[in-house]
Every structure is written in C-alpha cells, then in structure tokens.
Amino acid sequence: MLRPSSDVRAFEAHATDADLDDLRARLAAARLPEAETVHRAASGPRRWEQGVPLADLVDVVDHWRTGYDWRSFEERLDEIGQFRTVIDGLAIHFLHRRSPRADATPVVLTHGWPGSIAEFVDVVDELTQPSDADAPAFHVVVPSLPGFGHSDKPAATGWGTEKIAAAWVELMERLGYSRFVAHGGDWGGNITTVLGGRFPEQVLGIHTTFAEGPPGLTTDGLTSLEREWAEDTRHFWRHRAAYAKQQATRPQTIGYSLVDSPVGLLAWILDKFAEWSDTEDSPFETISRDRVLDDVTLYWLTRTGASAARIYYESHNSLDPELRVDVPSAITIYPRDVEKCPRPWAQERYRQIVRWREPEKGGHFPSLEVPGYFVKDLQEGLAAVLAAQR
C-alpha cells in the first residue's frame, strides 16, 4: 500500500522567461580564451588534449543561445511524472512511471556526475512498456541525487553514498515498493553497490556498469585484456582525474565558476562527455547535442554546479573495502568507460554474479550513447537477477 499522499507530492518546475533570457544574455556576453595551442587538426581525439577545443565550444554555445529548446525537456519530464518527498530533512526529486504490466518489477535508476536524470528520459518508455512482450517490464523510479537538479542542496556534510542508498530504500518504500531491483553507473553504480550490500532484504538484485573490486588486489592471474583494463584505470586516476581531485578537495572554489558562468559550466561538463564516450572526435557522434544541453541547462537553472560537485567531497574513495554484495548481480563493462574492473576482482566483492557482459561499443554514458543496447542489456541483466531469486 502507498503511504499517505502528503509524503510524496507531485512536482512541476518551469524556468521563468527571465531566467532563460538571462542565460542567453550571459552566453552572448561570454569572454572566451584564445584557442588551444596543440593539435588543431580537422578531426581526431588529440584535438581535446588541452580540454574542449575553442571551435567546438563556440559551436555549442551558439546553438545553446539560438537553437536549443529547454521547454521541450520540461515537457518530457512532466510527461514521465515528477515528484518530491522529504527524507531526513532533504527534499528528494524523482521521476516515477508505473508500468501497466501486472508482472512489472520496481527498479531505481541512479545517475552520477556529470550526469542527471537526463540520462534516463529516453529509456523510461521501453522499460515500463517494452515493445517485446516477452521482455520484463518495470515500474521506473529515477531520483535526482542530493544537490543535483530539483533535489534540495544539503546544508551540512553527511550526504554521502551510504546515506543516499538508505534514502533510496525509504523512497521506494514510500512508493509502495518494499522489494526492488537497482541499476546505476558512475556514482549511481557506487550507490547501487551499497544498496545491494547493505539492504539485501529490500534489494532483489542489482545491475551496474560500474563495478568496484576491493582495494589491493593483485594482477596475478588476470588475462592480458584484464591487465590492460587495470593499467588504463590506474592511468586514468594518475593523469586524467584532476576534476575529481578538485571536486573532492575544493568543490566550493570551482563551484563559483560553475554557478556564475554558463560557458564555464558547459566546458567543465562537455569535457567529460567527450573524453568518456566511445567516439573518435566529438561526443555528438553518438549523443544528442540537445540531450547534453538538457543536462547542462538543468545544472544551470537549478544552480547546482557547486552542490553537485560536493558528492566527491562526501564520498571520494569512501566505498567500504569490506562491503560485500551477496544479492544476484549483473555487471556490464563498456569498452570506453574510464574505469573497467576485471571480473576476478569484481567477484571478490559481488559474490553472486549471474550475468557478465563486455559489449563491443559504448562508454561512460551508455543510456545516451547506445540506448537500444543499454535497454536490452538492462532488461536481460535484471531478468537474470530476478531468475536467480526464484
């Protein structure tokens, strides 16, 4: 049974015309640096070695100012269904769509940074009403992390991944879902791991694109590909993770730029969409330019650049090394993701891996890069999880 309606309230948020006019004015008045000094080739990933190339940024800024339509994204969110509920003094925003299928299973989908609920708006319909009648159906819940989007901004420390996972259990209970499955990538994968490890009575099983083995494991016995994964991950944290160190140690400092400058916010986020997607020259080879701008504009209008960055301060390297996940787990490792966990390492934490996949395409944002594959993989992964429960 659902709890009293006062616990969960329908929600709509529509930016004022003044806010949108202010955004366009700031974009028009932006002061930009000179072009990067390396690899100004016509195409290729090396163009991005110093960050977002000037020409690419100018092109996206122009579209953001003159062609992008925020109202269509607002309409899409309203169409799916938006709600808020207060948990531990913090209002949590979430999308919620129930499936018409009687055999549907509740699922919570958790995004990460620099993502948002925008990562999942294109897959909700197929998850709730699959075109294949034999595919599993789901009641879909997509929360905005604390400090992200239309969730409240924490006013004190403490909202790390452990507390967020506990809040998700409370959220699902309020919706009448005492038992459910969970999916996530990036921080959402971390939170999904905590859900599976800490709440086996409520969580039937998990699907994640971001598996994390316990620290200190040896590379002995790994295949050559798994050793390459381990080395790539080590290289990423040593040479390509300055953004994470900044947000984990000085989120307030970078936050001033992210909340005050839409161009600064765009560059900070676009850099990650480019570097972490399975593309050769531009993230827009696979990801819609408007969907990236939906994500960035959501950060801008809600002024959450600083508050979202603080999840790194709260939770960087905080996953309990002793945490084990005994519920059934399905794990998918995309080839161009920034962290790829070898299966022998994953098995040290996830004790019941019922499905493991290594697709040929896709990066850190699979729901946007390869949405068709992502949905099918999620359906099949969670089907394997549920079958293991029987």
What's the rounded mean pLDDT across residues 277-298? 97
Pairing outcome for strands 203-208 and 138-143: unpaired
Residue 59, pLDDT > 60, answer yes
What's the rounded mean pLDDT across residues 3-7? 57
Question: Which pLDDT score, from 0 to 100, does residue 42 have?
Answer: 67
Sorting pLDDT into bands at 50, 70 and 90, what band is 4?
very low
The two tokens of residue 220 are 């002995």
Regarding pTM above 0.85, the answer is yes
What count of other Cβ atoms lies within 10 Å of the Cβ of residue 43?
A: 9
pLDDT tens track for 197-253: 999 999 999 999 999 999 999 999 999 999 999 999 999 999 999 999 999 999 999
Distance separating alpha carbons of residues 355 and 180, to the nearest angstrom: 18
Q: For 74-135, give the DSSP string.
A: HHHHHHH-EEEEEETTEEEEEEEE--S-TT-EEEEEE--SS--GGGTTTTHHHHHS-SSTTS
Sorting pLDDT into bands at 50, 70 and 90, what band is 46?
confident
Question: Which pLDDT score, from 0 to 100, does residue 389 have?
Answer: 85
Q: Give me the torsion for CA of 38, 41, 45, 50, rounded to 10°.
A: 20
Residue type, 291: R
Per the DSSP assignment, residues forming a β-bridge with 206 are 182, 329
Distant-in-sequence, close-in-space partners of 267: CB < 8 Å, separation ≥ 6:
51, 52, 57
pLDDT tens track for 304-333: 999 999 999 999 988 999 999 999 999 999
Residue 169, pLDDT > 50, answer yes
Sorting pLDDT into bands at 50, 70 and 90, what band is 6?
low
Distances (CA, A) of 66 to 24, 94, 208, 227: 8, 30, 37, 47
Question: Which pLDDT score, from 0 to 100, does residue 324 have?
Answer: 98
Query: Helix crossing, 54-66 with 262-276: angle to 10°?
Result: 120
Sorting pLDDT into bands at 50, 70 and 90, what band is 45?
confident
Distance separating alpha carbons of residues 244 and 246, to the nearest angstrom: 5
pLDDT tens track for 132-156: 999 999 999 999 999 999 999 999 9
Question: What is the percentage of the chain residues whose pLDDT exceeds 70?
Answer: 97
Q: What is the DSSP letter of 154?
A: P
